[in-house]
Amino acid sequence: MVTVKVGVTGVISVVVILIGVFLAWLEYGTTGEEEYWRMATAAMQTDEEFIATNQSAFMVGATGETGKHILEELTNRKLFQTITLIGRREVTYEGEKYQSIVQKVVDFDNLDSHADVFKNHDVGFICLGARAGNTGVTSNLPALRKVDHDYVIKSAELAKAGGCRHLVLLSAMKASKDASHPYSKIKGEVEEEAKAFGFDRLSIFQPAVIMVDRKDETRVGEWFLKKALAPVAFFFPTALTVPIATLARAMVNTALTPKDQDVEVLDNKAIHRMGGKK
């Protein structure tokens, strides 16, 4: 019996060590580190200069958690002359900082009839998507494809036709058109189709698990996952998680950085670098 116990303990120890090594590799790997650190540093230095260019932006998905945080980042820093929020309904915003907001209500099933709302924007933020736990959406592949693919791609298409130069697109970790998982596959297909539109600049964000406190609802699975990942986030902050405020700041900061290439894909570590400082 003693031998069996020692054996089990040894196996567990090896597994723990391997997990630690894997997380350390994710955390301390250097792929793209210098490039994205340079980009992040540049972003921190250009707020005033960027404001002076008098640019306008639009956002699709402003009522989602990521969209809410992006909007707060944009309005707090007063970066754009106008911010057009494109959505199903109007939302009440109170405070002087929201004076730059223009709201446009659209039917996402008939976006072609709302093409005008996508015209004359310099930068576009698309962070529309269903999230795990939404009953009837993520459990229903046609519904998931409609939201995460059809609405997103049509918005991108109209934005390009309307003159948008820089599209900032929220995707997901492990997104690939060749993925076996439906969610990752859909996200990957969206990325490839967005690239084909030929934006002057396309910034694709692939965050890992987004850590967010939801005040309006509680999901047991989501709560458990967050608690389980809390130690990982503490010891290996860039490995498997990203705070939602960091993600939002990174997506905003990339709009301020000089163009380095036509298409840039930021993984979870790059997102931490880009959004790590205000």
DSSP state of 150: I
**How many Cβ atoms sit within 10 Å of the Cβ of residue 126?**
24
Rounded Cα gap, residues 269 and 274, in angstroms: 9
Choose, from 154, 160, 187, 269, the residue flagged as catalytic.
187
Beta strand pairing status for 82-87 and 56-60? parallel
- Residue 24, SS3 per DSSP: helix
Question: By C-alpha distance, which of 209, 203, 208 is closest to 191?
Answer: 203
Torsion, Cα of 59, 147, 151, 240 (10° steps):
50
Determine whether 93 is an active site residue.
no
Choose, from 154, 183, 185, 226, the residue flagged as catalytic.
183
Q: Annotated active-site positions, please?
A: 183, 187
